[in-house]
Chains A and B, each alone.
Chain A
Amino acid sequence: MLLEVRLYSGLEKYVENAQYGKPIQVELPEGATVKQLLDKLGIPQEQVFSVLVNGTHYNCSDVMEDGDRVALFPPVGGG
């Protein structure tokens, strides 16, 4: 399956040529979890604070689907 992945706020540094917010296409086997995505991208799990899949919070063990929009964030806050 193909995922549309966006990295933000410094996480892009783990992926060659990635820029924050610019979508990258990632191919993973059907039924892949968020953890598998992080492993494939080489992003340490402890650096990822929020995973939003189609705008909804996911945990590392959650399974994604083909075409999902995935956004990964380190700790962020403000107001």
Chain B
Amino acid sequence: MSKFIRLDMTTQKVKIEEVPEKYRALGGRALTSQFVLDEVPATCHPLGPKNKLIIAPGLLSGTSAPSSGRLSIGGKSPLTGGIKEANAGGITSQKLASLGIKAIVIEGKPEKGTFIARVTADSVEIIPADDLAGKGTYELTAILKERYNEKAGVICIGPAGEMKMLSAGITNNDPEGNSSRYAGRGGLGAVMGSKGLKAIVVECDKTFDAPVKDKERFKTAARKFADILLKHPVCGEGLPKFGTNVLMNIINEAGTLPTRNFRTGRFDAAGEVSGEKLAEVAVARGGKATHACHPGCVMRCSNVYPMPDGKVCAPIEYETAWCFGPNLEISDLDVVAKLNYICNDVGLDTIEAGCTLGVLMEAGVIPFGDGQAAIKALEEVVKGTPLGRIIGAGAAVAGKVYGVTRVPAVKGQSIPAYDPRSCRGNGVTYATTPMGADHTAGYAVTANILKVGGYVDPNKDDGQIELSRNLQVATAAVDATGLCLFVAFAVLDNEEGLPTIVEMLNAQYGTELTVEDVTALGQQILKNEREFNAKAGFTKADDRLPEFFYEEELTPHKTKFALKEELDEVFNF
């Protein structure tokens, strides 16, 4: 039977309950956002006892649906002050679903102490774990796997989360035990840290054991969906060959690669930190250019990058290669890997950390292009020094501390790897998504740059509002299913894509959903998130980009962002 697990951290008592009727048809982001709207007071302090953290596998997680192992984590974000859903790959989502767990809710706050939770098929317990306080995520994951179960999935935070830094993430491990699959954005690691919970160990040897009502029907639909993915040029060829960092060169050529803290749109040395270079170096050092973050993924866009110090950074994603590379004018992939590894270990969102270092470079605290200075600065985080805490607090805070006006953030969250002036559909998404600047919330790079799902000129305003709206609705729905967002490349280009997802859902749950229902679900998720944010005090003024994008031209296309009031039309459904 499907169940809700509540970890009351005030009393350290566990409550296992039947899933409330209202939540039975929900999963992933649909569930986390509805739950946060229902149970978290919008004006509460994100690090206080009234905030709650909810961890939920997607609706299709734990089945044979390809690439369906995404885990959603929700709560009130300490970084943005609004609602947050951050989602991750890794192996834990499938394990939770296979155990019949709809969600784990973490609530309350202990007076003191560090705890872990242990989840097995038979029991759930909260265990004092002061001995694990301050551990980096890699060591912590290794210790917990050894202590409890080598095959366990470990959801955990690093010291940044324990220190309640605003951009701390929550990670879980890949099949090899790398604690690098982050629900990174928005500081949910600080929420977990505020509740004294260092880790959740999920023990389950099964991966594809989630209950399915009509197994044959499901199998047929899942096979068809795998076929749709594999036949698509991006999902079937592009992503498996070079991973997400294959984007580096095309975004650079398109002139929308944010360089030197969003000053220009091209970086001369972009090729040095691109997916092609990564594949070359990784393979030469015995790593892998392609790798699956969870079993059953057909796109395998991850990688394994051996570093000169003998450690392994797996993966280096495009966003991370960008924020520590062109954004800081750093062209050394080993430096990028080191910065990435430090973030994974200490428990920080890489995008936020990269943008924050960009702001510190803007302020002259460290020089642009100085990789060693960037590493040294990031190493301050684990020590909890004032500089380390400023870095952990994110770009918006760092900008305030140092008096910097060029701060690429919306609703307090840093802007990712596509400049909104020459990828305007993404600009609309950054400005309006309830999440704070987030490329995954409505990835208009598809139609703006990649020519997937049609074409909308990235340097013009026409069509961008509608593009972002449609993508935000579709993305919210995909985030409910547990499917990796990258399935969208195929689904946008193949009219059988969405009906096949609906067919899988109906076969699994015995429902009679239609494609229209899925669209309605996406819209409802966004409405819920907007309602929470409105209650938390957000207004239209929060749905705008930072001033400098409207004032300063971006080369090479000499573009400025111009959309303002039009942005208020995004959610007119």
Residues of A within 8 A of B (CB): 6, 8-10, 20-21, 49-50, 52, 54-57, 69, 71, 73-79
B247 and A21: CB pair below 8 A?
no
**Closest-CB distance, A74 to chain B (whole angstroms):** 7
A20 and B271: CB pair below 8 A?
yes
Q: Which residues of B contact A79 (CB under 8 A)?
A: 244, 247, 318-319, 439-440, 443, 445, 485-486
Task: Tell whether B489 is near chain A: CB-to-CB under 8 Å.
Answer: yes
Cα distance A73–B243 when bound, in Å? 14
**Closest-CB distance, A72 to chain B (whole angstroms):** 9
Q: Which residues of B contact A71 (CB under 8 A)?
A: 249-250, 253
Cα distance A41–B68 when bound, in Å? 41
Q: Which residues of A contact B317 (CB under 8 A)?
A: 78
B440 and A76: CB pair below 8 A?
no
A78 and B276: CB pair below 8 A?
no
Q: Which residues of A contact B340 (CB under 8 A)?
A: none
Stretch from B6-14, B234-242, B509-517 that touches the partner:
B234-242
Task: Tell whether B537 is near chain A: CB-to-CB under 8 Å.
Answer: no
Which partner residue on chain A sits nearest B256 by CB separation? A55
Across the interface, B276 reaches (CB within 8 A) one of A21, A54, A75, A77, namely A21
B250 and A52: CB pair below 8 A?
yes
Q: Which residues of A contact B237 (CB under 8 A)?
A: 74-75
A57 and B455: CB pair below 8 A?
yes
Instruction: Offer 23 A-B interface pairs, CB within 8 angstroms, sorted by A.
Output: A8-B249, A9-B238, A9-B241, A9-B276, A21-B249, A50-B250, A54-B556, A57-B451, A57-B455, A71-B253, A73-B253, A74-B233, A76-B242, A77-B238, A77-B239, A77-B247, A77-B486, A78-B245, A78-B247, A78-B318, A78-B486, A79-B443, A79-B486
**Closest-CB distance, B349 to chain A (whole angstroms):** 15
Task: Tell whether B307 is near chain A: CB-to-CB under 8 Å.
Answer: no
Q: Which residues of B contact A52 (CB under 8 A)?
A: 250, 253-254
Cα distance A6–B557 when bound, in Å? 19
Across the interface, A76 reaches (CB within 8 A) one of B246, B443, B557, namely B246
B246 and A9: CB pair below 8 A?
yes
Which partner residue on chain A sits nearest B237 by CB separation? A75
Cα distance A17–B551 when bound, in Å? 44
Which partner residue on chain A sits nearest B271 by CB separation? A21
Across the interface, A55 reaches (CB within 8 A) one of B241, B254, B276, namely B254
Which partner residue on chain A sits nearest B254 by CB separation? A55
Residues of B within 8 A of A (CB): 233-235, 237-239, 241-247, 249-250, 253-255, 265, 270-271, 274-276, 301, 317-319, 422, 439-440, 443, 445-446, 450-452, 455, 459, 485-486, 489, 556-557
Which partner residue on chain B sits nearest A78 by CB separation? B244
Q: Which residues of B contact A57 (CB under 8 A)?
A: 451, 455
The 4 A-B residue pairs with the shortest CB-CB distance, nearest first, are A78-B244, A75-B233, A77-B234, A21-B271
A73 and B250: CB pair below 8 A?
yes
Across the interface, B247 reaches (CB within 8 A) one of A10, A20, A56, A76, namely A76
Q: Contacts A10-B241, A55-B253, A55-B255: A77 and B452 contacting too (C-beta < 8 A)? A: yes
B455 and A78: CB pair below 8 A?
no
**Closest-CB distance, A59 to chain B (whole angstroms):** 10
B445 and A74: CB pair below 8 A?
no
Cα distance A54–B557 when bound, in Å? 9
Q: Which residues of A contact B235 (CB under 8 A)?
A: 77
**Closest-CB distance, A29 to chain B (whole angstroms):** 24
Instruction: Among A21, A57, A73, find the residue whose CB has the most chain B CB atoms closer than 10 A.
Output: A21
Instruction: Among B239, B249, B253, B557, find the residue whose CB has the most chain A CB atoms closer than 10 A.
Output: B253
Instruction: Among A20, A69, A75, find the residue whose CB has the most chain B CB atoms closer than 10 A.
Output: A75
Cα distance A21–B275 when bound, in Å? 12
**Closest-CB distance, A5 to chain B (whole angstroms):** 11
With A20-B276, A74-B238, A77-B450 known, 4 other A-B pairs at CB within 8 A are A55-B253, A55-B422, A71-B250, A79-B247
B440 and A78: CB pair below 8 A?
no
Q: Which residues of B contact A55 (CB under 8 A)?
A: 253-255, 265, 422, 556-557
Cα distance A10–B276 when bound, in Å? 8
Q: Which residues of A contact B245 (CB under 8 A)?
A: 78
B276 and A8: CB pair below 8 A?
yes
A9 and B249: CB pair below 8 A?
yes
B450 and A9: CB pair below 8 A?
no
Q: Which residues of B contact A73 (CB under 8 A)?
A: 249-250, 253
Q: Which residues of A contact B455 (CB under 8 A)?
A: 57
Across the interface, B239 reaches (CB within 8 A) one of A6, A20, A49, A78, namely A78
**Closest-CB distance, B548 to chain A (whole angstroms):** 21
Which partner residue on chain A sits nearest B416 by CB separation? A79
Q: Contacts A20-B276, A21-B274, A21-B276: A76 and B238 contacting too (C-beta < 8 A)? A: yes
Q: Which residues of A contact B439 (CB under 8 A)?
A: 79
Q: Which residues of A contact B274 (CB under 8 A)?
A: 20-21
**Closest-CB distance, B474 to chain A (whole angstroms):** 14
Which partner residue on chain B sits nearest A6 by CB separation? B253
